[in-house]
Chain A
């Protein structure tokens, strides 16, 4: 094996983790900055009793769920499978790597 499959997996996981973390940061800071600067916008009433601010706040919470579930679906299928393959490859070859 010329390239360590573990290193490839690590790089892939790092990329996914960074993208999802950045998304979370953008969503949350976006919400907070709207609270600080966009008061008139967030005060718009969508229906009786529901302001845009309340809706976006609730959506921020729901986006935490969605991003987490996206990650877990990826990790439980592709990532775990790639790791299992790398382990199988390492034990059969039992060649020197790392």
Chain B
């Protein structure tokens, strides 16, 4: 089954491309300043940003991947769904409002606020790029494989199309176009999933438990019980759980979205909307997975290839015919485009705003130069994404998403939290937290079962006897702890009076935002060295 024989799928796809390019054209005329390019002129409402956050976050992996995981294993898919959601309340409680009030375009703005700009920004960009590049690889390889499966398009061509269309959004329309692409995609994805769930549940008297019961009757009671697919041991489970939970709060493309709203209150509202959309979407995906298990059949889902990824499209075909199948295939494509556009924009912001403007040019560069550098960075990242997508073709990249979340939780999240909440945090504490978090994640992942056993195919009995062997699949439990500890220890060993003195201003601005300028201690935005 492929959409290449389905002209409607191609039509839906072209309608989506035409619509989003139209939006990009409209946005391009409004994108004249860096404020527009990075932050959509701070003119996005909380409700809109909630949808855009959901559109930025609900990747093809979470739509097709979780539906497939549930279709093949039942209950176990729920472990990922919950993990991918619980980070959002953490963003709401700890990060969103201070971030909006303290920063301008990137999360480095917040970490570097009262610290020495250059070392902190360089470290934060390393943390950002590690996350952006690993996530881009995961998305691009997923995109190529998926589009090949859905549209029977050549892998390389599919990767190039995704890269070029995404670059067009970012390059010309900046954050405004990216936001609307994400909103359109979120509406299509949520709408498509709801319609599909209604069509499925209509066959079971609108009672999900009747659907689950039917699945258990056909495939055995174990589909309703925890299996061994996702969770293998207690420490593994906790470590993966921490990575999913705190990683979400350290993803640069998600954090960047909070600058698109006018103030902290709208940032707060946008997280609540995002949590509602994403949580609802995961509940629906669970129903869809069981729907595919019953109405399509486990054998047929496996037979369609892609490791279960075809479950949702096949289900669309079973309940809504070829037109609906075409629609869902086009939505899956749109999903990938929206996520990679967000990633590329956040990478471009880190390279231009953090490195070029604040490190190379010492905080002052003309507006036109900043925009030019940002666009060049976007093109470089787009080309990198295409090349990496082609290099990693056919590789097992399932671990990449786990790696992304683990780095985000072990590098970006600790630095951000300490910078916002801890008075005695210092420049070198921030550098240590980010660098040690990133490097230890890479090393421990390499020395663990994910790389040694799953990728390098070493015998687990052999390799686990080595002195260097690290037993956790996801190292986040250790690396996040290391990152927090190194940030704290380094800060305590060498106090930085200037940074400590700046904390009162951080505390004040984190709460008051722009209102802080009205008071006597009103210093303008992030001070540059």
Report the minimum CB–CB distance from A2 to chain B (whole Å): 15
Report the minimum CB–CB distance from B378 to chain A (whole Å): 33
Report the minimum CB–CB distance from B427 to chain A (whole Å): 22
Q: A20 to B93, alpha carbons, bound, how many Å? A: 7
Q: A49 to B523, alpha carbons, bound, how many Å? A: 61
B504 nearest in chain A by CB position: A98
Contact across chains for B90 and A24 when beta carbons are under 8 A apart? yes
Contact with B along A31-61 (1 / 0, CB 8 A): 1110111010011010111110110011011
Report the minimum CB–CB distance from B235 to chain A (whole Å): 9
Contact with A along B226-262 (1 / 0, CB 8 A): 1000010110011011000100000000000000000
Find A42's partner among B82, B212, B225, B245 (CB 8 Å cutoff): B225
**Known interface pairs A28-B241, A58-B283. Does A51 touch B213 (Cβ–Cβ under 8 Å)?**
no
Contact across chains for B507 and A7 when beta carbons are under 8 A apart? yes
Is B265 in the interface zone, CB < 8 Å from A? yes
Point out the residues of chain B lying under 8 angstroms from A9, CB to CB. 511
Contact across chains for A72 and B269 when beta carbons are under 8 A apart? yes
Find B233's partner among A25, A36, A43 (CB 8 Å cutoff): A36
Report the minimum CB–CB distance from A81 to chain B (whole Å): 12
Q: A48 to B507, alpha carbons, bound, how many Å? A: 53
B210 nearest in chain A by CB position: A49
Find B519's partner among A27, A48, A98 (CB 8 Å cutoff): A98
B506 nearest in chain A by CB position: A10
Point out the residues of chain B lying under 8 angstroms from A35, CB to CB. 79, 226, 231, 237
Is B224 in the interface zone, CB < 8 Å from A? yes
Stretch in B21-29, B270-278, B357-365 with 4+ CB within 8 Å of A = B270-278
Contact across chains for B276 and A98 when beta carbons are under 8 A apart? no
Q: Which of A31, A35, A97 has the most CB of B within 10 A?
A: A35
**Known interface pairs A9-B511, A10-B507, A32-B241. Does A49 touch B92 (Cβ–Cβ under 8 Å)?**
no
Q: A48 to B215, alpha carbons, bound, how many Å? A: 11
Report the minimum CB–CB distance from B171 to chain A (whole Å): 35
Contact across chains for B507 and A6 when beta carbons are under 8 A apart? yes
Is B421 in the interface zone, CB < 8 Å from A? yes
Q: A13 to B240, alpha carbons, bound, how many Å? A: 29
Interface of B is mostly: helix
Is B214 in the interface zone, CB < 8 Å from A? yes
Q: Which of B86, B212, B233, B272 has the most CB of A within 10 A?
A: B86
Find A71's partner among B92, B234, B276, B520 (CB 8 Å cutoff): B92
Within residues 479 to 529 of chain B, which ones have a CB less than 8 A from any CB in chain A? 504-505, 507-508, 510-512, 515, 518-521
Find A25's partner among B78, B237, B245, B518 (CB 8 Å cutoff): B245
**Known interface pairs A24-B89, A54-B212. Does A43 touch B82 (Cβ–Cβ under 8 Å)?**
no
Q: A67 to B286, alpha carbons, bound, how many Å? A: 22
Point out the residues of chain A lying under 8 angstroms from B275, CB to CB. 64-65, 68
Contact across chains for A87 and B233 when beta carbons are under 8 A apart? no
Interface residues on B, range: 35 or more
Q: A48 to B209, alpha carbons, bound, how many Å? A: 7
Q: A7 to B238, alpha carbons, bound, how many Å? A: 35
Find B224's partner among A54, A61, A86 (CB 8 Å cutoff): A54
Point out the residues of chain A lying under 8 angstroms from B208, CB to CB. 49
Contact across chains for A49 and B81 when beta carbons are under 8 A apart? no
Contact across chains for B75 and A51 when beta carbons are under 8 A apart? yes
A7 nearest in chain B by CB position: B507
Q: Which of A4, A68, A80 has the most CB of B within 10 A?
A: A68
Point out the residues of chain B lying under 8 angstroms from A25, CB to CB. 245
**Known interface pairs A68-B89, A68-B271. Does A53 touch B75 (Cβ–Cβ under 8 Å)?**
yes
Contact across chains for B89 and A21 when beta carbons are under 8 A apart? yes
A43 nearest in chain B by CB position: B225
Q: A21 to B520, alpha carbons, bound, how many Å? A: 34
Find B86's partner among A64, A75, A90 (CB 8 Å cutoff): A64
Point out the residues of chain A lying under 8 angstroms from B508, CB to CB. 6, 98
Contact across chains for A43 and B226 when beta carbons are under 8 A apart? yes
Contact across chains for B92 and A68 when beta carbons are under 8 A apart? yes
Report the minimum CB–CB distance from B187 to chain A (whole Å): 20
Find A83's partner among B282, B286, B511 (CB 8 Å cutoff): B511
Report the minimum CB–CB distance from B442 to chain A (whole Å): 25
Point out the residues of chain B lying under 8 angstroms from A72, CB to CB. 92, 268-269, 272
Report the minimum CB–CB distance from B166 to chain A (whole Å): 30
Contact across chains for B89 and A67 when beta carbons are under 8 A apart? yes
Contact across chains for B88 and A64 when beta carbons are under 8 A apart? yes
Interface pairs (28), CB distance under 8 Å:
A6-B507, A6-B512, A10-B507, A16-B93, A17-B94, A28-B245, A29-B238, A32-B83, A33-B238, A36-B234, A43-B226, A45-B224, A49-B209, A49-B213, A49-B215, A53-B225, A54-B75, A54-B224, A57-B82, A58-B286, A61-B282, A64-B279, A65-B279, A68-B92, A76-B268, A80-B265, A97-B520, A98-B504
Interface of B toward A, CB cutoff 8 Å? 75, 78-79, 81-83, 85-86, 88-90, 92-94, 208-216, 221, 224-226, 231, 233-234, 237-238, 240-241, 245, 265, 268-269, 271-272, 275-276, 279, 282-283, 286, 421, 504-505, 507-508, 510-512, 515, 518-521
**A-B contact sample (12 more), CB < 8 A, given A20-B93, A61-B85:** A21-B94, A24-B86, A24-B90, A32-B83, A33-B234, A33-B237, A50-B224, A51-B75, A57-B286, A87-B512, A97-B520, A98-B519
Interface of A toward B, CB cutoff 8 Å? 4, 6-7, 9-10, 13-14, 16-18, 20-21, 24-25, 27-29, 31-33, 35-37, 39, 42-43, 45, 47-51, 53-54, 57-58, 60-62, 64-65, 67-69, 71-72, 75-76, 80, 83, 86-87, 90-91, 94-98
